[in-house]
Amino acid sequence: MRAFILDKYKKKGALRLGEMPEPTLRDDDVLVQVHAAGLNLLDSKLRDGQFKLILPYRPPFILGHDVAGTVVRIGSNVRHFKPGDEVYARPRDGRVGTFAEFIAMNEADLALKPKNLTMEEAASIPLVGLTAWQVLVERAGLRKGQKVLIHAGSGGVGTFAIQLAKHLGATVATTTGTANVELVRSLGADVVIDYKKEDFEKLLSGYDVVLNSLDNDTLQKSLNVLKPGGKLISISGPPDPEFAREQGLNWVLRQVLRLLSFGIRSKAKRRRVSYSFLFMRANGEQLREITSLIEAGIIRPIMDRVFPFEATNEALAYIETGRSKGKVVVKLR
């Protein structure tokens, strides 16, 4: 099968379009013919070698964390899917590889594709949708009447998280650039901070939750908008000891992550708020919940561009500019 292959870790290195064997099917697996694959900054960071210690993939391997496609074969233990089903997923860590014509995934990671979305739209959802769900619903327990600050509101996670937070009944503030103010308002943001003109730290206070996806400077400033008991949840780091424990990392790595996050955890404690790092995980059950919201018209995908599969390297370069609104997808079929 054709696939985009990472031959060696290299910053901004090109993936190679080549032939790879079709994936082998385990008893609990579903083999999916890929129609479209979403791109994420996680793909770029993996290619650059930033996660070598935490996610030890051995090159050559196939990148890609979002997929929509059609089931072509199922393993002997699979009960919830059949050939011909249209599905979407974020495959679990250790088994990624959606930049290819086929991928085999554990059935627990999949959900039926929302009926009202195209394959390209569906491929844009899993990673950002699950990230927003796991931050706001699972980790933060966001409730009606609470206030949440979502950084980078026009990005992939941001566009989804704003809609989900509004559905949960929260007051939503977001940061974005001048060009995207109207977009984030249309998604339901109540307070929009144009970071090119305004400083969110000076304008916001008394917030219950902050979802951070930006740099360390933004992370530090975010502490100041939270009220006592508030939660600062970052998807861009630094990883904390709890994450190290969940990943089953060795003692040395656990100590390294403890040190990396020591500063922000100490500052959070002094302000009587909590800091945690979230690295989203595959979850077909949560994806089914997301499907219900999409089919009910509560959440809509925000798409920037669809590239042909052959232009996967160009598509990765485009998302690395940081200028995309919502998601970027490559189309195979």
Task: Tell whether the model's pLDDT for residue 89 goes beyond 90.
Answer: yes
Q: What is the pLDDT of residue 211?
A: 98
Domain regions of the chain by residue span: 2-124+302-331, 127-277
Q: What is the pLDDT of residue 333?
A: 87
3-class DSSP assignment, residue 253: helix
Q: What is the pLDDT of residue 196?
A: 92
Q: Which residue has the tokens 């949960």?
A: 168
Average pLDDT over residues 137-146: 98
Distant-in-sequence, close-in-space partners of 183: CB < 8 Å, separation ≥ 6: 154, 159, 176, 302, 325
In this structure, are residues 161 and 136 in contact, taking their beta carbons and an 8 Å threshold? yes
Q: Is 124 left (phi over 0), alpha (psi -120 to 50) or beta?
A: alpha
The amino acid at residue 213 is: S
* pLDDT, mean over the chain: 97
Task: Tell whether the model's pLDDT for residue 128 goes beyond 90.
Answer: yes
Where residue 305 falls among pLDDT bands split at 50, 70, 90? Answer: very high
Task: Tell whether the model's pLDDT for residue 53 goes beyond 90.
Answer: no
Q: What is the pLDDT of residue 52?
A: 86
Q: What is the pLDDT of residue 323?
A: 86
Half-sphere exposure of 90 (CA within 13 A, CB side): 25
In this structure, are residues 72 and 31 in contact, taking their beta carbons and an 8 Å threshold? yes
Which CATH code fits 2-124+302-331?
A: 3.90.180.10
Average pLDDT over residues 105-127: 98
Q: What is the pLDDT of residue 205?
A: 98
Q: What is the pLDDT of residue 47?
A: 96
Where residue 71 falls among pLDDT bands split at 50, 70, 90? Answer: very high
DSSP 291-306: HHHHHTTS----EEEE
Task: Tell whether the model's pLDDT for residue 313 goes beyond 90.
Answer: yes
What pTM value is reported for the model? 0.97
Q: What is the pLDDT of residue 322?
A: 87
Q: Which CATH superfamily is domain 127-277 in?
A: NAD(P)-binding Rossmann-like Domain (3.40.50.720)
Q: From CA 20, how far away is CA 13, in angstroms rounded? A: 19
Q: What is the pLDDT of residue 294?
A: 98
